[in-house]
Amino acid sequence: MLLRDLGEWELLKRLAIYAPPGQLDDDAALLVERAGRTLVVNTDVLVEGLHFSDATMGPADLGWRAAAANLSDLAAMGCQQVVGLTVGMVAPGDTPWAWVEGVYSGLSEALVRYGGVLLGGDCSGGAQRLLAVTALGHLGRGAIRRGDGRPGDALLSTGPHGLSRLGLALLLQELPVQSGAAMIPALAERAVRAHRRPRPRLDAVAALAVSQPPHCPWRVGGTDSSDGLLAAVAAIARTSGCQALLQRGALPLDAAMAGLPEAENWCLSGGEDFELVLALAPVWAQALVQVLPGASLIGELRATEAGTTPATSVLWQDSDQPVTGSEGWCHYTKKAAPEDGLQ
Amino acid sequence: MLLRDLGEWELLKRLAIYAPPGQLDDDAALLVERAGRTLVVNTDVLVEGLHFSDATMGPADLGWRAAAANLSDLAAMGCQQVVGLTVGMVAPGDTPWAWVEGVYSGLSEALVRYGGVLLGGDCSGGAQRLLAVTALGHLGRGAIRRGDGRPGDALLSTGPHGLSRLGLALLLQELPVQSGAAMIPALAERAVRAHRRPRPRLDAVAALAVSQPPHCPWRVGGTDSSDGLLAAVAAIARTSGCQALLQRGALPLDAAMAGLPEAENWCLSGGEDFELVLALAPVWAQALVQVLPGASLIGELRATEAGTTPATSVLWQDSDQPVTGSEGWCHYTKKAAPEDGLQ
């Protein structure tokens, strides 16, 4: 059995037996330290040709992105304070120093913006450029777990989805001429920025704490939408043993993007938006929307019905039809993942 | 300027400006947590063709080694308790699952032996197999730093050096026929084991604490010998602003290896022995040798003389001639590093 036949979902399932039960279920790992403080740890690998390319971003963008993607996983776990990063960098010997300098400048920019320092790392030669970043942070008021959603929870997105995929399309010039030509410059700029300089939503974790209603215990299901909004909702639904219902009219789209024919698909499956998708008590979700500009309610969780399969874990609320996305990506085949778009 | 022209020493120096002052000077990073406990963090990258190959070790050996190399850096910093690892694994799609299974089995074996759990990680496709491992642990009684050696300190090695390089030579069948033929089987077995299953010397850190003489404050210079004994001694001497004097008659060699013509060179520069090399008060060093079988005194530190250069930072005690090694390895050129053998 080769990795490309196994797929990443099955691979992660098989690797889970080497870790304590449930340890690999979430975006990041929690370590309870003395004095009640909890450390959050996450590792991400970015490989040239799969996760980035010179065609779509410069080295400083890449450094920012590598940091931001990792910090997004910390935020998705409930982290409010970044401690720092270690960076494993692999690059062939003919890589210019200027590239390395750009990458570390971008990493530093993100650390200045979001807190934390470069803690250490390792450098090596290799066939291909890649970054393996480990981020460390401290948990805020409580953890956010994929499996902590419950029937009756509201589903909330901290911001619009699809912008990063639009940015990629613009950078790769893959957009049909009429869409590209009609695009307002401000949207194009926003989209490219979303792709190159994503923001980890540590601020949303702070807003979550601020908006927690009195007498409402801390229980928040959630993950980030690095693999796409649909993948995030599906992961919460399945891990929480629920079905998710999405409101088609409430898809979190940038308003200026709504006219594009690709808008709905990219919103659901474009990926790399790095927003948080949360499942929580409706009263809390309403309160969070009040204090977090850009956040919106997108649906709800309900108890799983008999016969629910992975393919029916996310349904349209109005029609009860499965929500399908078209753009999953499998890192081992360089092809769209046939099954469910989970990376 | 390309990375291969820059060299790894200069590269690390340039990257240091992106981290707090001194942050990248040591084997691992220290994070002071609440309640006085200190976390130790280290990241290592192992790339196929540079750090490992199917020709010399199976996947379970590789997994063990990846864990052990990281834990060795934790030990070199003064860590006594392992918390766990995150693993970033990159492998092409045509990699068999059996290889991945072997790697994670080896990692788990090392964690069972030395403590800690698999905390998390990430998997991706890529052109080349590689592992990026981040290890977390807790500091024991105090930190061990490269720059904490002082003139008058004894230099101590926690075990023999050169065995791992001998093991590699045997596995690559690169040993001259007369040496190979004359080798006693027990030595050959020990050497191959040293290469495939190195031991991180967390036990030596415990022994260091046990042997600390009353009224002798905690101050221990040191590093591990993953890059070779000479590189370790040179790193301590230079970072501590001292010169190191090595006793030729006291080189830490496996007794059975002494007859090999390559013995001295491999002892100094073979690398990957993963012992600790320490600089500490002579009374403490004597006490440590008493409680730690295999440990031995190998020389001392003295005040730097005027005109000391990197090339004269390590001298033979009897002749005051520079100690030179032949086998540095530069990851960016795939050639012996001309300068000083530091990886």
pLDDT in tens, B59-97: 999 999 999 999 999 999 999 999 999 999 999 999 999
Per-residue pLDDT band at B114 (split at 50, 70, 90): very high
User: What's the pLDDT at B334?
Assistant: 46
Question: Which of the two residues, B287 and B25, has the higher pLDDT score?
Answer: B287
Q: Express as a percent the part of chain B with pLDDT over 70.
A: 92
How many contacts (CB atoms, under 8 Å) link A and B? 246
Contacts of residue B136 in chain A, CB cutoff 8 Å?
A: 31, 41
- A196 confidence band (pLDDT: 50, 70, 90): very high
Do the Cβ atoms of B108 and A18 come within 8 Å? yes
| Closest CA–CA distance from residue B62 to any residue of chain A (Å) | 16
Residue B329 has pLDDT above 70, yes or no: no
Task: Judge whether A101 is closer than 8 Å to chain B, CB to CB.
Answer: yes
Confidence class of residue B178 from pLDDT cuts 50, 70 and 90? low
- Across the range A290-309, mean pLDDT stands at 92
Within an 8 Å CB–CB cutoff, is residue A97 touching chain B? yes
Task: Give per-residue pLDDT as tens, A87-125.
Answer: 999 999 999 999 999 999 999 999 999 999 999 999 999
Sequence-ordered strand ranges (E) for B275-320: 276-280, 296-303, 314-316
pLDDT of residue B343: 31
**Average pLDDT value for residue range B99-103:** 97
Over residues B11-28, mean pLDDT = 90
Instruction: Give phi and psi for B222, each to the nearest 5.
Output: 170, 170
Parallel, antiparallel or unpaired: strands A144-145 and A117-124:
unpaired
Find chain B residues with C-beta within 8 A of A77's C-beta: none
Q: What is the pLDDT of residues B222-240, one digit of tens each?
A: 999 999 999 999 999 999 9
What tens digit of pLDDT does each residue of B32-41 get? 776 678 999 9
CA distance B15 to A341: 37
CA A316 vs CA A117, A151, A168: distances in Å: 43, 16, 27
Tokens of A76: 């998705």
pLDDT of B321 over the 80 cut: yes
pLDDT per residue over B293-305, tens digit each?
Answer: 999 999 999 999 8
pLDDT tens for A11-49 read: 988 999 999 998 888 889 998 776 678 999 999 999 999
Residue from A86, A138, A146 whose CB has the most chain B CBs within 10 Å, to mutate: A86
User: CA separation (Å) from B128 to A46, A256, B190, B274?
Assistant: 13, 42, 30, 25
Q: A43 to chain B: which residues are within 8 Å by CB?
A: 86-88, 120-122, 132, 134
Contacts of B115 in chain A (CB under 8 A): none
Can you give the pLDDT at residue A334? 47
Chain A partners of B50 at a C-beta cutoff of 8 Å? 124-126
Residue B111 scores a pLDDT above 80? yes
User: How much is the pLDDT for B339?
Assistant: 35
pLDDT for position B184? 82
Confidence band, pLDDT 50/70/90 cuts, at residue B177? low
Q: Which of A173, A228, A136, A36 is nearest to B86 (CA)?
A: A136
Structural domains in chain A? Answer: 3-139 (3.30.1330.10), 144-316 (3.90.650.10)
- Compare all CA atoms of chain A with the CA of B106 and give the residue at the minimum distance: A18
A2–B95 CB contact, under 8 Å: yes
Cα separation of B69 and B87, whole Å?
13
Q: Tell me how far CA of residue A272 lies from CA of A48, A165, A191, B151, B177, in angstroms.
A: 16, 7, 12, 54, 58
Q: What is the pLDDT of residue A259?
A: 84
8 Å CB contact of A125 and B90: no
Query: Which of A130, A131, A227, A333 to mutate: most B Cβ within 10 Å?
Result: A130
A94 touches chain B (CB under 8 A): yes
Q: Which of A24, A45, A134 sits opposite B124 (nearest CB)?
A: A45
Written as one string, the DSSP assignment of B38-52 is EEEEEEEEEEBTTTB
Q: Are residues A119 and B41, on separate chains, in Cβ contact within 8 Å?
A: yes
CA dihedral in degrees (B63, B66, B72, B78; nearest 10)?
A: -100
> What average pLDDT does this structure show over B15-23?
93
Rounded to the nearest angstrom, the minimum Cα separation between A279 and chain B is 23
B22 Cα to chain A: minimum distance (Å): 10
Please tell me the distance from the alpha carbon of residue B307 to that of residue A238, in angstroms, as a whole number: 68
B215 to chain A, any CB pair closer than 8 A? The answer is: no
| Statement: residue B150 has pLDDT above 70 | yes
Note the pLDDT of residue B31.
86
Closest Cα in chain A to B24: A120
Task: Note the pLDDT of residue A326.
Answer: 64
- pLDDT at residue number A180: 60
**Subunit contact B1:A90, Cβ cutoff 8 A:** no
A274-303 mean pLDDT: 98
Query: Is A309 or B18 the better-scoring residue by pLDDT?
Result: B18
CB interface of B with A, residues 18-57, below 8 Å: 18-20, 23-24, 28-29, 31, 33-35, 37, 39, 41-47, 49-51
Give the pLDDT of residue B333: 52
User: Is residue B161 classed as helix, strand or coil in its secondary structure?
Assistant: coil
Q: By CB neighbour count within 10 A (0-12 exposed, 13-18 middle, 19+ buried), where does B88 fall? A: buried
Best-predicted range by mean pLDDT (A16-30, B177-191, B195-209):
B195-209
Segment 64-93 of chain A within 8 Å of chain B by CB = 83-84, 86-93
Model pLDDT for residues B115-124, shown as the tens digit of each residue: 999 999 999 9
pLDDT at B335: 46
| Cβ neighbours for A128, distance < 8 A, ≥ 6 positions apart | A47, A48, A49, A90, A92, B126, B127, B128
pLDDT at A306: 79
* Mean pLDDT of the A274-286 span: 98
**Residue A127 and residue B128: Cβ atoms within 8 Å?**
yes
Contacts of A15 in chain B (CB under 8 A): 100, 104, 121, 123
A172-176, B77-81, B159-163: which has the minimum mean pLDDT?
A: A172-176
At residue A7, the pLDDT reads: 82
- Mean predicted confidence (pLDDT) in B162-169: 94
Select the residue of A91, A94, A104 nearest B18 (Cβ to Cβ). Answer: A104
pLDDT at site A308:
77
Please tell me the distance in Å from B185's CA to the nearest CA on chain A: 35
Least confident among A65-74, A80-89, B290-299, B318-327: B318-327
Q: Given CB atoms, is B12 within the 8 Å cutoff of chain A?
A: yes
Q: What is the pLDDT of residue B308?
A: 77
A121 touches chain B (CB under 8 A): yes
Residues 298-327 of B with CB under 8 A from A: none
Are A127 and B127 within 8 A, CB to CB? yes
Residue A94 distance to chain B (closest CA, Å): 5
pLDDT at A335 over 50: no
Taking 80 as the threshold, does the pLDDT of residue A52 lie above it? yes
Average of per-residue pLDDT values in chain A: 91
Using a CB-CB cut-off of 8 Å, the residues of chain A touching B332 are: 92-93, 125
Is the Cβ pair B123, A41 closer than 8 Å? Answer: no
Check whether B336 has a pLDDT greater than 50.
no
Pair of tokens at residue B292? 């730690």
The single residue listed with the structure tokens 């290592």 is B44
The whole model's pTM is what?
A: 0.91
Q: Is the model more confident about A299 or about A182? A: A299
- With CB atoms and an 8 Å threshold, state whether A50 touches B125: yes
